[in-house]
Structure 1
Amino acid sequence: METIITIEVVGKRLFVQLPKNAADIQYIRSFTYAYWDKGTFRWVVPNYKRNLELLKSFFGDRLNAVVFAPPAIVSQATHNRTIKPDTLLAIKKPSGRLCLLCPRNPEVESLIHSFPYYQWDSHHKWWSIPYHESYLEQLKTLVLRIGWSFMFEEETKTIERTKGLTASDVPDYRVCPDAFLLKMKELRHSEHTVVSYKSCFEEFINYYRNYDVSQIDETMIIDFLRYLVIERKVSIAYQNQSINAIKFYYERVLGGQRKVYRIDRPQADKLLPVVLSEEEVTALLNATPNLKHKAILMTIYSAGLRVGEAVRLCLSDIDSKRMQIRVVQSKGRKDRYTLLSKKTLEVLRAYFVAYHPKHWLFEGPDGGPYSDRSIQSIMRSSVKRAGIIKAATVHTLRHSFATHLLEQGVDIRYIQSLLWHASTTTTEIYTHVTTKGFDQIISPLDRLML
C-alpha cells in the first residue's frame, strides 16, 4: 500500500498527514509546540520561519503534496471553539496577547494569576495574558504534568483598515494652519511629534472640509473619533495622538480653556516587550559584517539607546576617559549619561579610522546624521541573517539592554537612570520579562516542616 504524506499550510500552522512511523513522529515532535490534532488526525507544527523547508527536506521524495489553504480559513479558526475537558488551547493574537481556553482548574488558574496583566474575558470566556515564550513554556509544563493536552496556535492579522484621507484623495485639500505648526515649534516639540500631530490634525479638518474649523463642535469631534475607531480601525496609539492633536489646536493654538471633551481614551493592551537573549544578540552582531552597521547596533545595545538618540550622537558625546556616552536632548528634552562599553569603544575606533566622520558619530552619505529608517533596515537584515524568529526591531536592543542588566543583578534604580525613565514603574516592566534566577527561588511552602 502506497504511503501518502501531505502538508497543508493554513496561516501560521502546518498540518502534516502521514502514516504511523516512529522515526517520522519523533522528528515531528522535535518542533517546538508541535501536537497531535485528534479532530483531524494530523500533526500540527507552527509555521515558523524555515519549519516548512525543514519538513520538505526531511520527507524528500516521500512528500506527495504541499497545499496552501486560502487565508479565509485562518480568520475563522479561533471562533466558536469547543475545547475538550483535558485540553488547554493557547492562541497568540496579533495584538501580542495570549488567549487561553481551558476548563476550570485551580492549578492552571493559580499559574495564570501569577502572570502580570492577566485578564478574564467574560464575553469570550477565556483568559488572556501578555505573550512571552517563558509564560507559554510554564503553561505547557503544568498542563502536561496534570495530564492534559496542550495546543498552541497563532492567529493571523485579518483586520482591514480604511486608508486615511490624503491630498490626492480630496479636492482643495486643507493643510494644517501655520499657527498650529508655529505653536508646536515655539513650544519646542520634537520634529517627530510635529509631523505626527500635523498628519492627525489634517485628517480631522479634511473630514469636515465643508466646515470652518471654528464651526466644529464637541459632538462633531466625538463623531470623528468614532469614525477613526469603527471605520478606519486605527491603532490605540493613533487614536490617542488624534485626540492630543485636536486638543492642542483648540486649547494651545486658539487659547481656549482647558476642558474635557467627554472623549473616552482607549486603554492600551498590556503587553511585554520583545527581548533577545544574550546568545541572540551575539548572533545578531556576528551576522552584521559591515563595520559601520555593527558599530551602530553595538552602540545602541550597549548603551540602551533609542534609535532617535543614536542618530543624533556627535563625536564629542563619546567620553572615552570616563567611559560614558552623553545623550543630548533625549526624550522629554533632557540630557543624560549612559554606558560606553569597552568592546563598543574598540569597534568605534576601528570605524573612525575607516570612515572618518567629521561631526555626527554616524554620518549619512550627505554628511548629515544617519537616518532612522536606514538603521531599521540594517536591523531587519541582521535579524534575518542571524535566523532570529522574534519580531525584533531596533528598540528591542534597548529592551534587551535593560533586561540583561536586571539579570546581572543591577539595581532597578540605576537601570531607570540609564534609560531615563521618569518613574521606576516604567522600568519594572522588565521584571516581568526576565526569568533568570527563577530556579533558585524556593516556594515558602517548601520550607514548612510538613
Structure 2
Amino acid sequence: MYTRKDAGVNEVQGDRPRRTLLQEVRRRLRLKHYSRRTEQAYVGWIRRFIRAHNRRHPRDMGAAEVERFLTALAVEGNVSAGTQNQALSALLFLYRDVLDIQLPWMDNVVRAKRPKRLPVVLARAEIRALLAALDGRSWLVASLLYGTGMRLMECLRLRIKDVDFARTDIIVRAGKGNKDRHTVLPRSLVDPLGREIERARILHEKDLADGFGSVWLPHALARKYPAAERELGWAYVFAAAKRLRDPHSGVVRRHHYSDAAFSRALKSARKRAGIVKPVSAHVLRHSFATHLLEAGYDIRTIQELLGHKDVATTQIYTHVLNRGGRGVRSPLDRD
C-alpha cells in the first residue's frame, strides 16, 4: 500500500510503513526496467502535476485535470512537443500502471506542434578542428561518437566485453528501445581504445584488491550470475576516476565517465575550434550518418548502424544529397 500524499512522508499501518505514491511510482518503473533517466523525468512530471493541483491525490482527479495540465504546458508554458509528450507519458503511466485507472482518450488536449527541423551537421573540416581541440578521454569519446554513430550514453556505458578488436566491431547493448545492435569500430581508434581498456583493467584490479570491484548489472543478471559483477568483461570501458555509492542500492561501485563532464569538454572545444554551429554529442551522431550517406553507403545499412526502428527516421539525413538547394545551380552562377 502507499499513502495519498505527494512524497516524502510515510504513514504507518501497524508495524509496516506504507509507501508514498512517488515511491510506488519508482518501484513500478524499476519493475518494468525503465531507465534511471526516464524514472527521474516521470517522477518529476508527476510531482509537478500534483503540485499544480494543490497536492490533491491523483486518484481524486482524472482526465479533465490531466487535459488542463497538458494544455497549460503548451499554451502558457510554450513547451516543445517532445516535452509535452513526455509529461503525457508520465501521467498515463501513473494512472494506468500505478493507480490502475484507464483514462478516456484526451481529445481536448491542446498539443504542442512538433516543428520539422533538419539536424545540425558538422563539415568534415569542422569535425577535424573539433577533435583537434580535445584531448584525453574526451577526445576518445568524441571520436567514437563520430566514428560509430553511438548515442552518448551508449558510448559511456560500453562494457569491455562488447568491444571486439579482431572483428573491429562494437556491440551496443540495450540501446534506445532496449535493443542491441552492432556498429563499426574505427581502425584508427583500435590502439587508443585498447589503452583506455588497459586503464580500466588496472582500476578494476585495484578495486578488487581493495575489496570492491563490482559493477552495476542490468535487470536480474546480478542474481542469475553472482560472480559476473566482479568480472573484467563487465567493467565499463570509460571507468570513472573515483568510486561512488549507488543511490539505489547503497553499494560502493565504480561507475562510468560523467556525461556532464564530457558535455563541458565538448562545449569548450567548440569555442576553441571557432565553430559557430551548436555542437552536442548528438551532432556527432548526425554527422556520422550524413557523411556515410555522402560517401554512398546504403540508407538501410546506416539505419542498422544507428539503431533506428523505422527507415523514415534515417531518411532525414538525405537532405545532404544533391536535392533541393544543394542540387540547384543558381542563375547568378550561370555562364
Indicate whether the TM-score tops 0.5.
yes
Residue number among 227, 236, 241 corresponding to 2:72 in the alignment: 227
- Mapping of residues 114-263 of structure 1, within 5 Å: 174=7, 177-257=22-102, 259-262=104-107, 263=109
Q: Which residue of the partner structure matches residue 374 of structure 1?
A: 261
Q: Which residue of the partner structure matches residue 364 of structure 1?
A: 240
Q: Does the Cα contact within 8 Å between 1:205 and 1:213 map onto a contact in 2?
A: yes
CA offset at residue 252 of structure 1? 1.8
Q: Give percent identity, aligned residues only.
A: 34
TM-score by length of structure 1 reads: 0.56
Within the alignment, does 1:294 sit opposite 2:139 as a pair?
yes
Q: Secondary structure at the match of 2:118?
A: coil
Residue number among 270, 280, 291 corresponding to 2:126 in the alignment: 280
CA offset at residue 310 of structure 1? 0.8
Q: Aligned letter for 2:286?
A: H
Residue number among 123, 126, 151 corresponding to 1:306 in the alignment: 151
Deviation per residue, 1:240-283 (Å, 9 max, x gap):
11111111111122222363122243331100110011111111
- Give the strand-richer structure, 1 or 2: 1
Q: Aligned letter for 1:416?
A: Q
Partners of 1:273 and 1:224 in 2: how far apart? 30
Q: Aligned letter for 2:280?
A: T
Partners of 1:320 and 1:184 in 2: how far apart? 36
Q: Secondary structure at the match of 1:337?
A: strand
Q: Aligned letter for 2:287?
A: S
C-alpha change, 1:257 and 1:216, in structure 2 (3 Å) is closer
CA offset at residue 388 of structure 1? 0.7
- Residues paired across the two proteins, number: 270
Gaps of at least 5 residues in structure 1 are: 1-171, 443-450
CA offset at residue 177 of structure 1? 2.4
C-alpha change, 1:412 and 1:217, in structure 2 (3 Å) is same
- Mapping of residues 371-450 of structure 1, within 5 Å: 371-435=258-322
Deviation per residue, 1:156-213 (Å, 9 max, x gap):
xxxxxxxxxxxxxxxx964652221111111111111111111011000111135232
Q: Does the Cα contact within 8 Å between 1:285 and 1:294 map onto a contact in 2?
A: yes
Q: Secondary structure at the match of 2:106?
A: coil
Q: Aligned letter for 2:181?
A: R
Partners of 1:190 and 1:277 in 2: how far apart? 33
Q: Does the Cα contact within 8 Å between 1:317 and 1:325 map onto a contact in 2?
A: yes
Deviation per residue, 1:288-315 (Å, 9 max, x gap):
1x22221111111111010110110012
- Give the RMSD, CA atoms, in angstroms: 2.4
Partners of 2:303 and 2:261 in 1: how far apart? 28
CA offset at residue 239 of structure 1? 1.4
Partners of 1:208 and 1:255 in 2: how far apart? 20
Partners of 1:415 and 1:182 in 2: how far apart? 37
Q: Does the Cα contact within 8 Å between 2:170 and 2:182 map onto a contact in 1?
A: yes
CA offset at residue 343 of structure 1? 0.6
Deviation per residue, 1:334-392 (Å, 9 max, x gap):
11110000111122234445674542111112132112111111211111111111011
TM-score by length of structure 2 reads: 0.74
